[in-house]
């Protein structure tokens, strides 16, 4: 299991949101919650972030009538 730190979200996954916005998304249940990886460190499970991105892509494609089989 790979864990991504907040700064890794943009270069590795293309997620440009601020820490504050990601926190709001997590609280709203719209982004994967981070896990504790140390006394004062949190990280995001890469597979959960990937699943979130895939779900967003599918929602976009479905909304535009481009649903494809994966």
At 13-43, the pLDDT tens digits run 999 999 999 999 999 999 999 999 999 999 9
- DSSP for 10-55, please give it: HHHH-----HHHHHHHHHTTSSPPPEEEETTEEEEEHHHHHHHHHH
pTM of the model: 0.83
Instruction: Report the C-alpha gap between 10 and 19 in whole angstroms.
Output: 11
How many residues would you count in the chain? Answer: 70
Q: What percent of the chain has a predicted confidence (pLDDT) above 90?
A: 87
CB-CB contact of 34 with 44 (8 Å)? yes
């Amino acid at each position: 299991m790979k864990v991504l730190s907040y700064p890794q979200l943009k270069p590795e996954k293309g997620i440009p949101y601020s820490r504050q916005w990601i926190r709001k998304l997590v609280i709203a249940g719209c982004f994967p919650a981070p896990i504790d990886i140390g006394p004062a460190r949190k990280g995001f499970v890469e597979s959960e972030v990937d699943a979130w991105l895939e779900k967003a892509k599918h929602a976009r494609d479905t909304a535009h009538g481009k649903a494809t089989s994966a």
